Each structure stands twice: as structure tokens, then as C-alpha cells.
Structure 1
Amino acid sequence: MREFVFALEYDPGTNPVADVLEAYPDTTVRSLSYHVTPESLWRVDHASGTAEALEALEGAYADADYFADCLVRDDCGATCETQVLDRSSDTLVVYTYWDRTESCTSVPHLALEQLGRGLLFETYREGRRHRWRIVLDDTAPIHDFFNAMGAEVGECTGIEMLRLTDVDPDGSFDADRPVDNDLPPEQLEALRAAVEYGYYETPRDIELSELAERLEIPRSTLSYRLRRAEAALATDRIADVSPLEPSPVQ
């Protein structure tokens, strides 16, 4: 088995959920369950954020023009159902289902058509970035799928291939983890630029928004890449360090 990880980057105004996540940078959405057939798609998402952000996110899910993962820009005529399964001050769990029409297409439907059945999907969203992880057979035609997806996403959505590796049976099912302790290229590039432009100096020589403009990527995307890179480096750094002893009770 192999894992194929890639990311979509939505332009403003092209995806209601991405617009909300851009407006609330500390809000994230990850998939809890994902299912697709040739005729339909349904998924359960877990969102974390402030009460204000989750209220806006719930409205985006209920938007009449929004169909989860549908790549068609115009009205495709699909029938969509959304339902809130759980809601708290900082958590939102949403179920989404839609029936496919002749004009509908999505990442999972393209994967089903190009890669075959038996696929496992995992997604994570932050800002305008929607990252996908697909676990698939070793012989699945990845390049055919990637080319088909590139033809469907159009000019309003960027697409980036992140990695294609064998599934690690001893590793967790986590799309964020680096491969062989190496940072993904986009995280390494962000970290290198942050160092070169003085983002880590005290005081800083450049702010995050200015650095994002220089790299020509959204601020939220740069923030995410730096946080993931910093987390990976910190984890790797202390991996062999003895755990802290609990402080004695006074």
C-alpha cells in the first residue's frame, strides 16, 4: 500500500468553507469519516475554533451553493444535505451528503474512476488549503489521477503534490507527519525564507504578512507551514532527550 498526499489551494470567493477558514486562521477542519460511490458522496467533518468561527463555518456548510468537495464552479443541480451532529463552544461536527449529477465531479469521484475501489481518504483544512491523503494500492495509476484532477480544478484552485510513499505500518495515520524525518518541500521553503528574511530575529526584521507577500502565498498558508515545520523540528530535537521528572510536591 502507498499513501498519496496533495493539497488544493482555493482562491477567494470560490469555496465558502475556505473563505471562513481564511477569515479565522485558528480554525481547522479534519475528516472523521469519508465515503464515496459513483452516484454519491458523504462525509463527517470535525471543526475546531472559536464560537464565532464555528457559527460562520456552520453557515458556510449550509450555503445553497456549497457542495463538499465538488469541483464544479457553476450550479451542478446536485441535491445536498447537511446536518450538525455535535456542537459545543469550540467544536463542530457536520455530516454532509450529496447525490451526483452528470455535471458533478469531485476529488473522491475522480479517485474512484482513476484509481479504483478500496481507497481510504483523510483530509485536513486550514485557511484556503485543503490537504488530502489517499491510501491506495501499489499499482494504482497516480499520474493519470493527478492529470485528471488538474484538468478539473481549473484556474481558481491551485494544486500541489506533496508526497507519494509506502505506508508505514508503525506510523500513525497522520497526513502532517514528515517522511523519514525530512520536512516536506513547501515547509522547508517557508522555514528557509523565514530565517533568511529575519522572521526569527529579536526584534523581527519582517512580519508574517510581509513574508507571505514576498513568497506570494496566503498568510494563513505560510503560518501553517511554519508551525508544522517548527513542530517537526522540535519533536525531532527532543526525541532522544530523557523525559522531565515531575517536580516534588512542596
Structure 2
Amino acid sequence: MREFVFALEYESGTNPVADVLADHPETSIRSLSCHASADSLWRVDHAEGTAEGLEALERAYGNDDYFADCLVNDGCGTSCDVQELDRSSDELVVYTYWERTDVCTSVPHVALEHLGDGLLFETYREGRRYRWRIVLDDTAPVHEFFDALGDEVGGCTGIEMLRLTELDPERTPLDPDADRSLPNEQREALRAAVEHGYYETPRRIDLSDLADRLGIPRSTLSYRLRRAEAELATAFAAADAETDDVLEEITTRL
């Protein structure tokens, strides 16, 4: 078995849930289950974040233009059944279901058509980035699927392949820190912070001024820098531990 991980990147106005997550960077969504048949799709998602972010998500889920994972942007003639299964001040669990029309399609449906049955899907969403992990057979034509998916998402949604590896039972499934490629927003924030001297001692710019230069709220910039720093620190610690293991093995042999 192999795991294939890729990410979609929605542009503003092309997906109501992505718009909410971009406006509320402390809010994220992880799939608890995701299933598709030839003529329908159903899933359960767990969202966590601020009260304002979850309220905005509820409105997005109730929007008539929202269809869970449907890649058609100009209406597909179906309706999405949305039910809240659990709700608290900082968590939301939502069930969604829709039946396909002649024009409906989605990531799972493209996968079924090109990769066959028996697939496992996991997803994680934050900001405009939507990461998918598919567990599939070793012989499945992954590149054929990825090319077909690229044709379906069109020009309003970016798509990026992150990894295709043997299934690793030790890997944490789609943990937000599991993939070391930083989302564009975090990469741009980090690059700007370095260029303008935010990390110098003493600092040449404070967080508020840097946020003004980038045209984003101070809280959003702070969140993006914290997430980028966490990913880089985690990657460094993992690499450092691996280096120590190699050195210990060499020393033992000597």
C-alpha cells in the first residue's frame, strides 16, 4: 500500500469554506470520515477554532452555493444535506451528503474513476489550503489520476503534489505539522519577516509595522509566523535526532 498526499489551494471567492478559513486562520477542519460511491458523496468533518470562525463556518455550510467537495463552480443542480452532529464553543462536527448529477464531480469521484475501489481518504483544511491523503494500492495509476484532477479543478484552484510514499504506520495522518512544505501564506510571511529585520537583534521592524507592510491584520501575521516557526523547528528537531542516531551508529561500529 502507498499513500499519496497533495494539496488544493483555493483562490478568493471560489470556495465558501476556504474563504472562511482564510478570514479565520485559527480555525481548521479535519475529516473524521470521507466516502464516495459512483453516484454520491458523504463525509463527517471536525472543525475547531474561535467562536467567530465556527459561526462563519456554519453560515458557509448553510449557503446554497456550498456542496461538499464538488469541483463544479457554476452550479451542478444538486443540493447538499448538511447536519450538525456536535457543537461547542470551540468545536463543530458536521455531516454532509449529496447525490451526483451529470456534471457533479469531486476529488473522491475522480479517484474512484482512475484509482479504483478500496481507497481511504483523509483531509485537513486551514486557510485556503486543502490537503488530501489517499491510501491506495501499489499499482494504482497515481499520475493519471493527478493529471485528471488537474483538468477538473480548473484555473481557479492551484494543485500541488506533496508526497507519494510507501504507507508508513508510524506517520501521523495529515497532522498540520506533518508536511514540511510551508503553505504560501506562511512562506511569504516568513520571508518578509527576514527581509525587513524582524528576527534581527535588535529588531528593525515590529510585528504591527510588518503587518501594515503586508496589508494583513497583526493577529493573522502572528499566527502565520508561529505556524511557520513550529514547522521549521519540528523539522530541525527530527533531522537533528536522525543525525544523532547516525553518529551513534558510526561510533558504535568504530
Q: Which residue of 2 aligns with 1:67?
A: 67
Q: Which runs of 4+ in 1 moved over 6 A?
A: 218-221
> Which residue among 230, 233, 238 is the counterpart of 2:232?
230
Residue 166 of structure 1 pairs with residue 166 of structure 2: yes
2:105, 2:77 → 1: CA distance? 12
1:6 counterpart letter in structure 2: F
Gaps of 5+ in 2: 245-254
Gaps of 5+ in 1: 242-250
1:107 counterpart letter in structure 2: V
Residue 51 of structure 1 pairs with residue 51 of structure 2: yes
- TM-score, with normalisation over the residues of structure 2? 0.80
Q: Deviations over 1:168-196 (max 9, x none)?
A: 123332354557xxx33768x93983675
> Which residue among 189, 193, 216 is the counterpart of 2:191?
193
- 218-227 or 100-109, which deviates more: 218-227
Residues 100 and 186 from structure 1, CA distance in 2 versus in 1: closer, same or farther, beyond 3 angstroms? Answer: same
Q: How far off its partner does 1:229 sit?
A: 1.9
Q: Which residue of 2 aligns with 1:103?
A: 103
Q: How far off its partner does 1:78 sit?
A: 1.3
Q: How far off its partner does 1:74 sit?
A: 1.0
Q: Which has the higher helix share?
A: 2
Alignment root-mean-square deviation, CA:
3.1
Q: Which residue of 2 aligns with 1:246?
A: none
1:126, 1:220 → 2: CA distance? 15
* Paired residue secondary structure (1:132): strand
Contact residue 5 and residue 131 of structure 1 kept, 8 A = yes
Q: Deviations over 1:93-133 (max 9, x none)?
A: 00000001110010010001011111111101111111111
Q: How far off its partner does 1:160 sit?
A: 0.8
- TM-score, with normalisation over the residues of structure 1? 0.81
Residues 167 and 209 from structure 1, CA distance in 2 versus in 1: closer, same or farther, beyond 3 angstroms? Answer: farther
Same amino acid, percent of matched pairs: 60
Q: How far off its partner does 1:72 sit?
A: 0.3
Contact residue 126 and residue 220 of structure 1 kept, 8 A = no
1:18 counterpart letter in structure 2: A
Q: How far off its partner does 1:82 sit?
A: 0.1
